[in-house]
Amino acid sequence: MIQTPLSAERADQDAASRTAVGAVADAATQADADEQASLARLVSTSGERLPNAELDPWVAELDAAAIAELYQDMAVIRRLDAEGTALQRQGEIGLWPPLLGQEASQIGSARALRGDDFVFATYRDMGVAWARGVRPSDLNRVWRGATASGWNPYEVNMAPLQVIIGAQTLHATGYALGIQNDGADAVALTYLGDGASSQGDVNEALIFAASYQAPVVFFCQNNHWAISEPVGLQAHRPIADRAPGFGIPSMRVDGNDVLAVLAATRLAVERARTGGGPSFIEAVTYRMGPHTTADDPRKYRDPADLEIWAPRDPLARIEALLRGLGAFTREFEQQVADAADTAAAAVRAETIAIAQPAAHELFEHIYAEPHSGLARQRAEYLRYLAQFEEPTESGQPSTDGGAR
């Protein structure tokens, strides 16, 4: 076929475009390879146990049974995560932020803590909440819109999940200063995402923590996406590199390797517990699902990214490790499936049973003590709601504040 000059020019443009796209893809692939090579890791994607002189001592006591427990924990929170998405799609809760892909980061870090340590987490850390002992019904209380908080923080030593990006890092640092003032040896651990690392609150928390050598660990789950913004846009160097600028030691670990995450967190927690001050961990992982159930990542994410990260699955590599140790038996597999199904069934049943509170209850948990200003707002709101109430038998509107 003889091309016309116009079609030849178009062909040249297409070829140049393909070359440019190929160059960008090659650069992205190389950047990914460089990143993976830089991470501290104890288990390869194929399940091979890797030596690491710095991390090995912190998980030396883990036998096959202990590793199997970590696997079961990850399997359970993955099942709970799927149940959360299903409940949202069925209208039982208003929103759900999936954690698929981040199971190792959440379980490895949470299992490094003592009961008297205190956690300040963000909205995606439902796996951490489960590991801290939050009841199934309390996991979804906020997402069902029934309360502003899901649980009593002092029963599980974990603050309610924070939706304001990065604010929880300041809370953690303040709590750590209290621990320091009391002369206790507990530790505060705060979770944040790669997007939150650019927030002013986080940088202020790092300054305060470093200035007062507060016993706090900053645990950043770099899942590569701040909603639709790729991490490379706001971090031209690894996020962990920022902490030393504040005088805080940092470590970058494979966030899909539960053993590496557990070891790194134990190291940082022990450092804080023994007066060594704050630490910063960047757990490099990947958000395999949407930002929330209100998001469609197909609008901004290359599907090829999922193909790259799928073989790095946190559960698959531990399954391979356990199979190599002869510990991934049919009985164990069934035990894990039963535990996950039981937890999911409990979350579903207890979530659906959560009663909707009366509207006036909104005013009952804002301040520790009532005051006249709050009472006035409450009265005004009840009068407003009463306009929509059906008259009672006495002919007067109901005063239950719009309870449904």
CA separation for the pair 35, 232 (Å, rounded): 12
What is the C-alpha to C-alpha distance for residues 308 and 287, in angstroms, rounded to an integer?
12
| Active-site choice (132, 224, 252, 287) | 287
**Residues 110, 133: contact at Cβ < 8 Å?**
no
DSSP structure string for 174-223:
HHHHHHHHHT----EEEEEETTGGGSHHHHHHHHHHHHHT-SEEEEEEE-
Can you tell me whether residue 152 is helix, strand or coil?
Answer: coil
Pairing outcome for strands 279-284 and 118-120: unpaired
Catalytic residue among 141, 291, 312, 348: 291
The per-residue b/e assignment along 66-99, b for 16 or more CB within 10 angstroms, e otherwise, is ebbebbbbbbbbbbbbbbbbebbeeebbeebbbb
At CB < 8 A and 24+ separation, what contacts does 169-173 make? Answer: 169/120, 169/196, 169/201, 169/202, 169/205, 169/206, 169/218, 170/201, 170/204, 170/205, 170/208, 171/120, 172/118, 172/120, 172/205, 172/216, 172/218, 173/205, 173/208, 173/209, 173/214, 173/216, 173/278
Q: Which of 349, 350, 352, 377 is nearest to 363 (CA)?
A: 377
Can you tell me the distance from the alpha carbon of 277 to that of 263, in angstroms, rounded to the nearest whole number? 18
Angle at 223 between CA 230 and CA 221, to 5 degrees: 130
The answer to whether 126 and 77 have CB atoms below 8 angstroms apart is yes
The verdict on whether 291 is a catalytic residue reads: yes
Q: Which residues are marked as active site?
A: 287, 291, 300
